[in-house]
C-alpha cells in the first residue's frame, strides 16, 4: 500500500495514539493525548488531526463516542517510520548472556532456553524452530548393526547436528558388508546438501548397484527420501509463553480468547508462518501485522521473526502476540537473541 504523506503534526499525533494504546489497550481520546504527552496542541486540534488520520486509514474507532485505535496500516506506518530505534537495556543483555552461558550445551537445551527467554522478555507467545536439515551439509554417515535385523543410520552434519534413523533389514542382506557400504556412501555423499543427495542419490551409486553390495544399496535407494528428509513440522519447534499471552487484556473477550487458544493448539500454523521466506534485508528480520499474515487465524495478531544460523543450516525464532505490542522492545530482544543463539551454537560446535 502507498501511504499518504503525513505532516509532522499528523505523525506526532499518530505516534502518541499508538504509544498510548499499546500501554492501556483502551481507545485513545484527544484529551488524553493532550494531557499525557504535552505536545502543544489543544484537544480540539488533536481531535481534528485524529479525524484526518482516520480518513487516511491509520486509525479507527470501535464506537461513535469512543476514542481511536490503530488500524493495521497505522501500525505498519508506525513500525516503518515512527517508532523509537530498537534498543535493549544492558541489564537485559547481561541476563540473556548469563543464562545462555550457564545452560547445558545440548542444542535442544539452548533452543528451549532461547524460547523461554524470548517469551519472558516480550510477554508474548514465542517460538523457536529447529534448523532445517534440507539445507544442511552432510559431514559423514555411520551405519550400525542393531538387533532384530535393523540398521541405525547416523547422519553427522557440518553444523554440528546429528540425525538418526532406523531401517528394517530383509533377510538377504549381509550385515558384514556395512563398513564397505558406509565407506562408499561417505566418499560419494560427504559435503553435499540433503536436498542435493535426494535428487542425485541414484546416479551417484549406479556403478555399485549390481555388485555384491546391492541388497544394502537398494535399501538405501528405497529409503533415501526418508533418510534425508527434513524433520516433521510438529517436531521442529519449541513454543513457550502461553501464560504470558493469555494475560494480555485482549483475551478477556471470549471470542478473542477462543481464537488464541485455537492458534496455540494448532502449532503447525505458527511454524509454517515462521518458516515462510523472510524479507531480503540485511537482518533477515520480518514484521507481519494483522491481515498481512497469509493465514486468517493470524489476522488479529502480529508476528516478528528472525533467522539464526547453525553452520550452513538456519532456523527461525519469533513471537506472536496482539497487534498492540511493544514493537521496538520486541525487535531488539529478537535480534539480540538470534545473534546470541547463533554464537552459542557456533561455540558449541567448535
CATH number for position 69: 1.10.10.10
User: Above 70 in pLDDT, residue 1?
Assistant: no
pLDDT score at 279: 47
Task: Quickly state the pLDDT bin for 280 (edges 50, 70, 90).
Answer: very low
Each residue's pLDDT tens digit, 80-104: 999 999 999 999 999 999 998 887 6
When divided into structural domains, the chain yields a total of 3
- Do 239 and 345 reside in the same domain of the chain? yes
Last residue of a domain, which of 18, 51, 82? 82
- Do 140 and 199 reside in the same domain of the chain? yes
pLDDT score at 297: 80
pLDDT score at 306: 94
> Percentage of the chain surpassing pLDDT 70?
91
- Do 212 and 246 reside in the same domain of the chain? no
C-alpha grid cell, residue 332 = 531488539
User: How is the beta sheet containing 237-240 ordered, strand by strand?
Assistant: 237-240, 125-129, 313-322, 301-310, 285-289
Cα 166–Cα 169–Cα 174 angle in degrees, nearest 5 = 120
Does the residue 195 lie in any domain?
yes
Buried b (16+ CB within 10 A) or exposed e, 68-83: bbbbbbbbbbbbeebb
Does the residue 1 lie in any domain?
no
Q: Residue 29 region, left (φ>0) first, then alpha (ψ -120 to 50), else beta?
A: beta
Q: What is d(CA 278, CA 285) in angstroms, rounded to the nearest whole number?
A: 7
Cα–Cα distances in angstroms (integers) from residue 166 to residues 3, 100, 171, 218, in the given order: 56, 33, 16, 15
- CB under 8 Å to 193, separation ≥6 — which residues? 134, 135, 136, 137, 138, 312
Each residue's pLDDT tens digit, 302-328: 999 999 987 777 889 999 999 999 999
Evaluate the CA torsion angle 204, 210, 215, 216 in order and state its sign: negative
- CB under 8 Å to 227, separation ≥6 — which residues? 153, 155, 165, 167, 220
Each residue's pLDDT tens digit, 162-207: 888 888 887 667 778 889 999 999 999 999 988 899 999 999 998 8
Does the residue 3 lie in any domain?
no
User: Above 50 in pLDDT, residue 48?
Assistant: yes
SS3 287: strand
- Do 156 and 219 reside in the same domain of the chain? yes
User: Above 90 in pLDDT, residue 237?
Assistant: no
- Do 218 and 241 reside in the same domain of the chain? no
Gap between the terminal Cα atoms of the chain: 46
- Do 250 and 328 reside in the same domain of the chain? yes
Each residue's pLDDT tens digit, 122-131: 999 999 988 7
Does the residue 2 lie in any domain?
no
Last residue of a domain, which of 227, 249, 281? 227
- CB under 8 Å to 133, separation ≥6 — which residues? 157, 161, 163, 194, 228, 229, 230, 231, 313
User: Above 50 in pLDDT, residue 33?
Assistant: yes
Does the residue 15 lie in any domain?
yes
Last residue of a domain, which of 40, 65, 82? 82
Q: What is d(CA 52, CA 10) in angstroms, rounded to the nearest whole number?
A: 8
pLDDT score at 212: 85
User: Above 60 in pLDDT, residue 75?
Assistant: yes
Q: What is d(CA 271, CA 239) in angstroms, rounded to the nearest whole number?
A: 9
Of 84, 78, 31, the closest CA to residue 53 belongs to 78
- Do 252 and 286 reside in the same domain of the chain? yes
Range of the domain at 213: 136-227
Does the residue 310 lie in any domain?
yes
pLDDT score at 339: 93
Q: Kindly report the CATH number assigned to the domain that includes residue 181.
A: 3.30.390.60
Amino acid at each position: 500500500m502507498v501511504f499518504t504523506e503525513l505532516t509532522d503534526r499528523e505523525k506526532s499525533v499518530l505516534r502518541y495514539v499508538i504509544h498510548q494504546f499499546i500501554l492501556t489497550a483502551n481507545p485513545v481520546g484527544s484529551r488524553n493525548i493532550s494531557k499525557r504527552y504535552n505536545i502543544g496542541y489543544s484537544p480540539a486540534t488533536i481531535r481534528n488531526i485524529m479525524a484526518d488520520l482516520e480518513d487516511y486509514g491509520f486509525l479507527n474507532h470501535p464506537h461513535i463516542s469512543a476514542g481511536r485505535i490503530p488500524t493495521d496500516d497505522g501500525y505498519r506506518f508506525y513500525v516503518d517510520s515512527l517508532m523509537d530505534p530498537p534498543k535493549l537495556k544492558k541489564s537485559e543483555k547481561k541476563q540473556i548472556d548469563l543464562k545462555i552461558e550457564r545452560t547445558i550445551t545440548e542444542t535442544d537445551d539452548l533452543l528451549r532456553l532461547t524460547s523461554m527467554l524470548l517469551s519472558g522478555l516480550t510477554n508474548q507467545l514465542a517460538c523457536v524452530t529447529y534448523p532445517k536439515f534440507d539445507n544442511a551439509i552432510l559431514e559423514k554417515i555411520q551405519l550400525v548393526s542393531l538387533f532384530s535385523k535393523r540398521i541405525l543410520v547416523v547422519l553427522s552434519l557440518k553444523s554440528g547436528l546429528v540425525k538418526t534413523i532406523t531401517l528394517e533389514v530383509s533377510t538377504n542382506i549381509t550385515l558384514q558388508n556395512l563398513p564397505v557400504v558406509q565407506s562408499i556412501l561417505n566418499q560419494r555423499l560427504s559435503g553435499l546438501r540433503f536436498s542435493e543427495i535426494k535428487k542425485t542419490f541414484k546416479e551417484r551409486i549406479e556403478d555399485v548397484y549390481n555388485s555384491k553390495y546391492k541388497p544394502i544399496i537398494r535399501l538405501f535407494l528405497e529409503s533415501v527420501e526418508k533418510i534425508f528428509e527434513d524433520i516433521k513440522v510438529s517436531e521442529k519447534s519449541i513454543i513457550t509463553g502461553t501464560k504470558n499471552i493469555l494475560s494480555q487484556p485482549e483475551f478477556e473477550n471470549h471470542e478473542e480468547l477462543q481464537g488464541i487458544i485455537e492458534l496455540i493448539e494448532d502449532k503447525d500454523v505458527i511454524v509454517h508462518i515462521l518458516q515462510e521466506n523472510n524479507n531480503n534485508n540485511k537482518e533477515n528480520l520480518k514484521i507481519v501485522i494483522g491481515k498481512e499474515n497469509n493465514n486468517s487465524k493470524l489476522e488479529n495478531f502480529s508476528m516478528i521473526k528472525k533467522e539464526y544460523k547453525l553452520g550452513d543450516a538456519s532456523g527461525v525464532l519469533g513471537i506472536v502476540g496482539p497487534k498492540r505490542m511493544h514493537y521496538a522492545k520486541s525487535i531488539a530482544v529478537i535480534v539480540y537473541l538470534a545473534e546470541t543463539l547463533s554464537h552459542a551454537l557456533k561455540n558449541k560446535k567448535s
